[in-house]
Chains A and B, each alone.
Chain A
């Protein structure tokens, strides 16, 4: 209940270029996307559309291209072919407020001399720019994100290298929430979380979609998919299937996704 109240109080996307008016939705479009690392084609013929106010899970085996797809949408990888647009604008132009990105845990420099609060404050830098001062609104957004991820109090002042795997994950998700971005791109957000925090995060992602955000996350646990996400994209270098969780999670689709290691 606490989560619901806090989110309603703080449901803002003031930093986003594409501000919502009632009944309006923004769409993410991926058209004929092809991504290659040198000569290795990782993604091919990817077409998808998703709108704000919904959540999409990317499901597939290791090396299926889930992280690459998230990075491509975030504008971190230049595609070999195809285009990605958000609200009709090239995704590369949407960096700096529209998207929040959660990388995989092992990519982060955890020896950085910074507290959990410091990490979450970093989420506000895109709004503040290089020199802007923290305002009351920023403090509220930071506090709300810490509360939501239960990282407040003593935990907020802890050095990040002293956190457990799950706590590190929660600190980084809090940072993404503090950013108050329109689109949340989360690379395996449930990794390292215990059952209680998995359930909390699942609830939180649902609430974020109700706030008209678009949540896209790579996910491994098929059993918890329908509780958290509206749609699912089965991926193994190409799109195997995409749609409502119940319709898409068929045995045939799962076999196609997980049994064939490469479709390219």
Chain B
């Protein structure tokens, strides 16, 4: 406990905790949308395309910084996303198939290009998160993303839910389904970008899926899916920072591991409860 209090005196630790809380909450909140939209696999594919995006930026600019990595990652995911939508529109292939082809090709390109990406920074650190090196500007960006996520979700929660449940019925009820889909994509991409810095592109999907999946085991209330997911994401990320820094283990993988453990415990709790109620009745 005294070690923890001592660490709280260190600015980098306080920043890491604040970033973990903000990113964890945002991702946890948005994970409700990912779950309802059943788009975990698509987002997983997009998160992997962040890798080649970063590598290409390093090749072009010769440096690796936050703005460059963010731009490269965003462009790569947009290219793969748009390419898959285009293929789906003009062929009979489902989007999941098209996206699988494009994202694996993009990752393959990234792997081939990694040896040529000479930079003074540690590429591995970027691949698994840089939460311990957060600056004040990073925190402001995450705070902005968290505010945008909460405000837009709260304002448009009803049309978003109608769209996610059955888009045709939503459209007949007067919802602009296309705009709601754009908003959903924006929320998911922003959350992915935030988690990308916390846990890295390879593991970011874990933070964007697990909180909602955990809370969905316990509730039939859609409102709780979002707020509960946010709380779980926030607590898990903060806990991982507190555990990982003193133990000197990478924080990004620690966040995903804490969430994986929580999911396992939740699953055991729910299934054992069902088992007991079945045997007693």
Contacts and interface: CB of A to CB of B under 8 A. Distances in A.
Interface stretch (A3-11, A120-128, A208-216): A120-128
Interface stretch (A23-31, A56-64, A69-77, A192-200): A69-77
Nearest to B224: A113
A53 interface: no
Contacts of B86: none
Contact of B174 (A96, A108, A118, A185): A96
A99, A126, A175: most-surrounded residue (chain B CB, <10 A): A126
Contact of B168 (A76, A96, A126): A76
B248 to A, nearest CB: 39
Contacts of B221: 113
Given A109-B164, A112-B164, A112-B222, A76 B158 contact: no
Contacts of A103: 166, 168-169
B173 A95 contact: yes
A248 interface: no
A130 B36 CA distance: 19
A128 B158 contact: yes
B166 A95 contact: no
Interface residues of A, number: 33
B162 interface: yes
A71 B164 contact: no
A97 B174 contact: yes
Given A96-B174, A99-B172, A107-B168, A113 B161 contact: no
Interface of A: 71, 74-76, 95-97, 99-103, 107-109, 111-115, 118-119, 122, 125-126, 128-131, 159, 175, 179, 185
30 contacts: A74-B172, A75-B172, A76-B168, A76-B171, A95-B172, A95-B174, A96-B173, A100-B172, A102-B169, A103-B166, A103-B169, A107-B168, A108-B166, A109-B36, A109-B166, A112-B165, A112-B222, A113-B36, A114-B165, A122-B162, A125-B158, A125-B159, A129-B158, A130-B156, A130-B157, A130-B158, A130-B159, A131-B155, A131-B158, A185-B172
Given A119-B165, A131-B158, 9 more contacts: A74-B168, A95-B171, A96-B173, A102-B169, A109-B165, A109-B166, A113-B221, A125-B162, A130-B157
